[in-house]
A and B are shown apart, each in its own frame.
Chain A
C-alpha cells in the first residue's frame, strides 16, 4: 500500500497566519489526492480533491498544490474555525490510504 506521510504532525498558529501542511506519498500518485478537515467528534469534510480542486462551499482561503509525490495544503489567513486536524488521502492506487493527520492548534 502507498504510505502517506504528513508534516508536521501538529503545530500552533495564530488567526491571520498563513500556514502550509505537507503530504508526501511513498510513490507517485499523479494528482489523485484529497484533503480533509476533521474537528473533534465530527466526521471528516473534504476540502480539496484532485490535489488542487476546491470542493464546492469550501472558502477560497484553502488551496492545494502538488503532483507526483509531494503535496501541500495552504490556508492563506487562518480563521478561528480552521483549528482542526487535517488529513491527506491518495486514491491513485488500491487501497486508498490516509496520512496520519496534522493537528493545527491555537497559539
Chain B
C-alpha cells in the first residue's frame, strides 16, 4: 500500500522560506520513473500543480512559480522536500505531496498525502 504524509510548519511569516517534507512508503525509489509531485490548494479554491521530482533527479516546476520552487530528495530514500522562497499571504493553502504512477511525463497522481495547511501571516 502506498502512503504519503506531509510535514512542516503551519505558520510562516511573509518573505520567509517554507520547507515541507513528504515521507512516503510502499513504492520503490530505485526506479528512475518513480515520481513524487507537489500540488497546493488555497482555501476554497482549485488545485495548482507545483512540480515533480523523479528519482533519476529529473525535476519539473510550474513555470509561473519556478524561480521560487525547489524540489529535492530528502535525507533518506523515502523523503522528498519542497522549498518555496519569499512566501506571501497568497501562498496560504493546503500543500499536498502525491505519487505519480508514471510513465514519466504523465503527471497524474495517485494516491495523495493528507495535506498540510500552511498559513502565511505576520
Contacts and interface: CB of A to CB of B under 8 A. Distances in A.
Interface of A: 1, 32, 34, 36, 42-46, 49, 55, 87, 89, 91, 94-101
Nearest to A34: B108
B46 A96 contact: no
B47 A91 contact: no
Contact of B112 (A43, A98, A101): A43
Q: Chain B interface residue count: which class?
A: 20 to 34
Given A87-B47, A91-B107, 5 more contacts: A44-B112, A45-B110, A46-B108, A46-B110, A95-B62
A95 B49 CA distance: 7
Main secondary structure of the interface of B (DSSP, over half): loop
B93 to A, nearest CB: 13
Contact of B114 (A34, A43, A94, A95): A43
Interface string B76-99: 000000000000000000001010
A35 to B, nearest CB: 10
Interface string B50-70: 000000000010111000000
Contact of B49 (A43, A45, A96, A99): A96
A60 to B, nearest CB: 17
Nearest to A44: B112
